[in-house]
Amino acid sequence: MRKGRVLAVAALLLFAPSAASGGATAARGVPILMYHVVSAPPGSAHYPDLFVRPRDFADQMNWLARHGYHAVTLKRVYDSWTNGSSLPRHAVVVSFDDGYLSQYTRAFPVLRAHHWPGVLNMEVNFLQPVGGLRPWRVRKLIDAGWELDAHTLTHPDLTTLGDARLWQEVNGSRVALRHKFHVPVDFFCYPAGRYDAKVIAAVKLAGFLGATTTNYGLARPPGFYTLNRVRINGSDGVQGFASKLTNLTPSPY
Ligand SMILES: [Zn+2]
């Protein structure tokens, strides 16, 4: 009986926000796009699909705008799921992994022209080297409304680590980014999509509100620590991109 009541209250808490904000919109799954490098792949690239050409990226963002999508931060999606705050009818999250220079030089101007924020999953040790973003660029992105999230210190496979190293990579990356940029760093991104129950426990303990994976599909509550994403490959172009989006979400029209 008691258990039943607890469950009923939990269900109420889970579903009340969507009712408060106008029905299915808030609780509906949201596509979180996953990008890496936004430039033409060099001939020597081991993983050419991680490179999306700047022209393709611009066309993809234009396609979103033409089809009624509106990019938001992951925190805004999370808030709509958990407290019913408003969300554009066709929300999408545009996330960038690791922290490549081209995310600033190529992707940022395109998103800025749409007045859209991006979400940066930053590997802390990739802030400094040539080819990395450098802190001053990250600050510019934050100033423009981007969300900064943690992607560990050194990008290891977290499922292979001992307890101390796991904590250092998960909690240490949050602490380092918060200290350096004075923003919440509320979400985590698993390197190479690798996670297990122990890794999830560490992510929760470090205070993250949720975490993104490389599992394909729409992100939807209540799986906040295993949020799906939609990988965008260099070979997608605008047509492959469009078919991914339209197969995942009902047409806005
Ligand atoms: Zn990564």
Q: Is residue 189 part of a domain?
A: yes
What is the distance in A from the centroid of ligand 1 to the CA of 166? Answer: 16
Distance 25 CA to ligand 1 centre (A): 30
Phi, psi of 119 (to 5 degrees): -125, 120
Q: Residue 253: inside a domain, yes or no?
A: no
pLDDT bucket at 28, cuts 50 / 70 / 90: confident
Q: Give 82-134 pLDDT, tens digit per residue.
A: 999 999 989 999 999 999 999 999 999 999 999 999 999 999 999 987 768 99
Q: Which tokens is 143 given? A: 């100033």
Instruction: Kindly state the average pLDDT of the residues 31-35.
Output: 98
CA 24 to ligand 1 centroid distance, Å: 32
Give the pLDDT confidence score for residue 250 in this predicted structure: 60
pLDDT tens-digit series, residues 195-206: 999 999 999 999
pLDDT at 251: 53
Segment 134-154 mean pLDDT? 97
Number of domains in the chain: 1
C-alpha 222 – ligand 1 centre gap (Å): 24
Task: State which residues form the domain around 149.
Answer: 2-248
Q: 90 CA distance to ligand 1 centroid (A)?
A: 27
Question: 227 CA to middle of ligand 1, Å?
Answer: 15
Centre of ligand 1 from the C-alpha of residue 232, in Å:
14
How remote is the CA of residue 50 from the centroid of ligand 1, in Å? 11
Any domain includes 50: yes
Q: Please list, in sequence order, all residues whose beta carbon lies within 8 angstroms of the beta carbon of residue 110, skipping any fewer than 6 positions away.
A: 54, 57, 58, 61
Kindly list the protein residues that place their beta carbon closer than 5 angstroms to ligand 1, a single-atom ion: 97-98, 191
Q: Which amino acid is at 92?
A: V
Does residue 135 form part of some domain?
yes
- Is 24 within a domain? yes
CATH number at 49 reads 3.20.20.370
**Whole-structure pTM value:** 0.88
Mean pLDDT (the chain) is 89
Are residues 37 and 52 in contact, defined by beta-carbon separation less than 8 angstroms? yes
Within 10 A of 66 (CB to CB), how many other CB atoms are there? 10
Q: How far is the CA of 35 from the centre of ligand 1 (A)?
A: 10
Name every residue whose Cβ is closer than 8 Å to that of residue 97 and which is 6 or more positions away in sequence.
Answer: 34, 35, 36, 121, 151, 189
Determine the distance separating the centroid of ligand 1 and the alpha carbon of 7, expressed in angstroms.
Answer: 37
4 pLDDT band, cuts 50/70/90, is very low
- Asked, for residue 114, whether it belongs to a domain, the answer is yes
109 alpha carbon to ligand 1 midpoint, in Å?
22
Q: Report CA(97)–ligand 1 centroid distance (Å).
A: 5
Q: Ligand 1 center to residue 151 CA distance, Å? A: 7
19: left (phi over 0), alpha (psi -120 to 50) or beta: alpha
Which letter, b or e, does each residue of 125-134 get, where b requires 16 or more Cβ atoms within 10 Å of its Cβ?
ebbeeeebbb
The rounded Å distance from CA 96 to ligand 1 centre is: 9
Query: Which residue in this structure is represented by tokens 């220079």?
Result: 101
Q: How far is the CA of 240 from the centre of ligand 1 (A)?
A: 22
Residue 93 in any domain: the answer is: yes
CA of 152 to the centre of ligand 1 (A): 9
Per the domain annotation, does 60 fall within a domain? yes
Strand positions, DSSP E, the chain? 32-35, 70-71, 91-98, 119-122, 147-150, 187-189, 210-216, 227-231
